[in-house]
Homo-oligomer: A and B are copies of this chain.
Amino acid sequence: MRVIVTPKATVLDPQGAAVREAMQHLGMPEVREVRIGKYLEIEVEGDAAEVEPRLHQLCRDLLSNPVIEDYQLQRSEEGAE
């Protein structure tokens, strides 16, 4: 499974702003905005459907800060991963 944690649209992302400026100075003036989040690949034994509700809970409690971040939980294409 994959979890993507991103800063909420209303929250400042200074790291993203720094990367945007670096990209603009390094030959990509077209860059308008960069937002940086976390990407987690989680390998779970057993049935993804059975595990998913608990994983959602952990996304809220451990992997993201719901005050300032959103998360997306995705099943990987390959069954077991």
Q: Shortest distance in angstroms between A80's beta carbon and chain B's nearest beta carbon?
A: 10
Contact partner of A39 (CB less than 8 A), chosen from B28, B37, B42, is B37
Q: A58 and B6: CB pair below 8 A?
A: no
Number of identical protomers: 2
What is the interface residue range for chain A against chain B?
Answer: 35 or more
Chain B hits for A62, CB < 8 A: 19, 22-23, 26
Give bound CA distance, A77 to B77, whole Å.
Answer: 17
Q: Do B38 and A42 touch (CB < 8 A)? A: no
| Given A6-B39, A19-B63, A39-B39: A44 in contact with B30 (beta carbons within 8 A) | yes
Binary per-residue interface labels of chain A (43-56) against chain B in the complex, 1 for a CB within 8 Å, 0 otherwise: 11110000100110
